[in-house]
Amino acid sequence: MEYREVAGRRKAVRVMLRRWGLARDMCRENAKRLEEFKGLSEDTIGCKSTIAYLERRCDAEFAFGKRMTELIAALTPRQQTILWMRYSSCDSFLRIALRFNCSTDHAKRQERKAVDKLSTMLGGDCA
C-alpha cells in the first residue's frame, strides 16, 4: 500500500515537472495567441470574456512555472541540472548520464531522489 502511495506521488510530481518544462513555451505561445486574437476581435463585440480567459490562463501558467522554479532552486545543483535536462530539454537518461559521466541507472536514481525531495517539499499539493 505504501509503495502505491509513493509511486502515485512520484507520478504526480513528474506530471508537474513536465508541465513546468513546457510552461515557458506555453506562456510565449499563449501571449502570441492572445495578441492575434485581440487583433482579430477588435470589431467583434462580446469577445472580452475570451480575452480575459486567455490572460488569466497565461498568468496562471507563469505563476506555476515561477513556483516550480523556486522549488527546484532549493535542490542541489546536480539535481537541478538533471531535472532541467530531463523535463525542460527532454533529454534521455543516456544523455544525462553522458553529461555527468555516470551510468544511466545512477542518473535515474538521481532523478528519482530529486522527485522524492520535491514531493516532500510540495506536501499534499502534488496528489
Backbone φ and ψ for 109, nearest 5 degrees, come out as -65, -40
**119 class by beta-carbon count within 10 Å (0-12 exposed, 13-18 middle, 19+ buried):** buried
Average pLDDT over residues 10-16: 90
pLDDT at 32 over 50: yes
**pLDDT value of position 43:** 57
**pLDDT value of position 45:** 57
Written in H, E and C, the secondary structure of 6-30 is HHHHHHHHHHHHHHHHHHHHHHHHH
Average pLDDT over residues 2-27: 84
**pLDDT value of position 44:** 58
**pLDDT value of position 29:** 77
Q: pLDDT tens across 46-58, in order?
A: 566 777 777 787 7
Three cell numbers, residue 10: 512520484
The answer to whether residues 57 and 30 touch, using CB atoms and an 8 Å cutoff, is yes
**Ranges 13-27, 45-59, 72-86: which has the least confidence:** 45-59
Confidence of residue 35 (pLDDT cuts 50, 70, 90): confident
